[in-house]
Amino acid sequence: MEYIYGALLLHYAKQEINEENLARVLQAAGITPDEVRIKTLVAALKEVNIEEAIKSAAFAPVAAAPAAAAPAATAAASAPQAKAEEKKEEEEKKGPSEEEIAGSLASLF
């Protein structure tokens, strides 16, 4: 993730996202840069319009949140017992922890 954050920081600063600049950002953050990861990320980002990716990512979750919140609020107001049952089901359906997700995402880079 730190490589992507570095690339986003360079983009925000209107600097060119290249291997040298990304390595400098990572070093400034106290991270020893991995040349293979840097080359891979820079090559992948050459084909991506970062502004469009940010815009589409920023609005997708927000648009889905109100639609999902309305049925949940109606169900919670009409049946308190159903709410207790839902909590039990949610506890049983717990997915992977945040650490497991972060670990799997880190393997991509």
The verdict on domain 1-48 having CATH code 3.40.190.10 is no
Q: How far apart are CA 53 and CA 42, in angstroms?
A: 16
Cα–Cα dist 55/60, whole Å: 9
pLDDT at 54: 85
* pLDDT given for residue 72 in this prediction: 53
Torsion of CA 5, 10, 13, 14, to 10 degrees: -140
pLDDT score at 56: 85
- Distance from the Cα of residue 61 to its chain's centroid: 11
Model confidence at 109: pLDDT above 90? no
Q: Tell me what pLDDT residue 47 has.
A: 87
Q: Residue 17 has what pLDDT?
A: 93
- pLDDT single digits (tens) 55-103: 888 665 555 555 555 555 554 444 455 555 555 555 555 555 666 666 6
- Taking CA atoms, 49 is separated from 13, 17, 53, 90, 96, in Å, by 16, 12, 6, 38, 31
pLDDT in tens, 2-54: 999 999 999 999 999 999 999 999 999 999 999 999 999 999 999 888 888 88
pTM over 0.85: no
Q: Where are the domains of the chain?
A: 1-48, 66-109
10-38 residues labelled b (16+ CB within 10 A) or e (exposed): beeeeeebeeebbbebbeeeeeebeeebb
